[in-house]
């Protein structure tokens, strides 16, 4: 006689195609800010170059930028902070909603493949989770211009104080773009994984799924040893998996691509 056994659904993953589109949208915003910043600072520097550069080089005294240069720095920061604040919400909302949808569809398909056909609808809990994710993404996008212009100001102040010519300063400013692009990549990957994890956990709890199995991604150049060790470990969905003394959910830590397999709250015939 066949014995009944719990059914475990296959693991699902964040949609990498959407992650890439989200990343490129943020990168486009950064590229626009970067090219504008370089253009206007070059114009300001040419109009009001460091004075008495020769004396600065000999005496090694600090010469502060003029009020015009400082005003240009502030105007650029304010302009792009506003741009990222306004555009960031629409970008975050668009992709967060699509990420929730694709994660939801993937989760529903995994249940169906294991014999549990269920129709998932947008519930108040899911709406709250999505809105929280959108706001979190907006906050990260809004942080980009502040971090970028802190570095811009440091470079301009240092080059101006040293009485350097324009080109060395521009070369330093150009080096900021790859760093900003890397931040866009990190935000897109991290938030894609987090949204997927949030969607999966919310659906699990709504459906009465109390247990899941941690699945390591087996990806990345430097995997976390404790995440590798947790592969195959069953955990309580409401609490998270106990790893290195902390209860966490797969995909919620920075650069974590781990996921899980849902354990059905009932048994099916073998």
Per-residue pLDDT tens over the stretch 102-131: 999 999 999 999 889 888 888 888 888 889
Tell me the C-alpha distance between 237 and 213, whole Å: 9
Confidence of residue 55 (pLDDT cuts 50, 70, 90): very low
Angle at 194 between CA 190 and CA 195, to 5 degrees: 120
Instruction: Determine the pLDDT at residue 1.
Output: 36
Task: Give dist(CA 264, CA 107) in Å, integer.
Answer: 13
Residue 32 pLDDT class (50, 70, 90 cuts): very high
Whether 229 shows a pLDDT value over 60: the answer reads yes
Least confident of 34-38, 82-86, 153-157, 172-176: 153-157
pLDDT tier, 3 (very low <50, low <70, confident <90, very high otherwise): very low
| Average of per-residue pLDDT across 214-238 | 90
152 burial level (CB within 10 Å; 0-12, 13-18, 19+): buried
pLDDT bracket for residue 4 (50, 70, 90): low
| pLDDT at res. 120 | 87
Judge contact between 205 and 238, C-beta under 8 A: yes
Q: Which has the higher per-residue pLDDT, 68 or 115? A: 115
What is the structure's pLDDT at 268?
A: 57
Higher pLDDT pick, 26 / 157:
26
Give the closest residue to 153 by CA, choosing from 61, 54, 78, 85: 78
The pTM assigned to this predicted structure is 0.86
The percent of residues above 90 in pLDDT, for the chain, comes to 67
> How high is the pLDDT of residue 165?
78
Give me the pLDDT at residue 54, please.
43
157-167 residue pLDDT tens: 888 777 777 88
């Amino acid at each position: 006689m066949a014995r009944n056994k719990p059914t475990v659904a296959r693991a699902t993953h964040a949609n990498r195609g959407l992650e890439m589109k989200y990343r490129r949208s943020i990168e486009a915003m950064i590229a626009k800010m970067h090219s504008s910043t370089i253009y206007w600072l070059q114009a300001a520097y040419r109009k009001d170059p460091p004075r008495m550069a020769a004396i600065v080089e000999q005496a090694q005294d600090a010469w502060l930028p003029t009020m015009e240069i400082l005003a240009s720095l502030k105007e650029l920061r304010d302009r792009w902070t506003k741009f990222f604040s306004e555009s960031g919400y629409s970008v975050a909302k668009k992709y967060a909603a699509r990420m929730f949808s694709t994660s939801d569809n993937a989760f529903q398909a995994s249940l169906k493949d294991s014999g549990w056909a269920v129709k998932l609808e947008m519930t108040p809990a899911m709406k709250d989770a999505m809105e929280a994710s959108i706001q979190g993404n907006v906050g990260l996008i809004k942080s980009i211009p502040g971090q970028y212009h802190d570095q811009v100001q440091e470079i301009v102040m240092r080059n101006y104080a040293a009485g350097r010519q324009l080109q060395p300063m521009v070369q330093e400013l150009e080096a900021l773009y790859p760093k900003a692009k890397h931040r866009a990549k990190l935000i897109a990957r991290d938030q894609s994984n987090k949204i997927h994890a949030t969607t999966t956990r919310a659906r699990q709890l709504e459906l009465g799924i109390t247990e899941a199995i941690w699945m390591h991604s087996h990806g990345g150049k430097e995997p976390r040893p404790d995440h590798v060790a947790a592969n195959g470990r069953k955990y309580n969905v409401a609490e998270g998996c106990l790893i290195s003394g902390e209860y966490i959910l797969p995909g919620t830590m920075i650069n974590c691509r781990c996921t899980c397999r849902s354990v059905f709250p009932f048994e099916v015939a073998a």
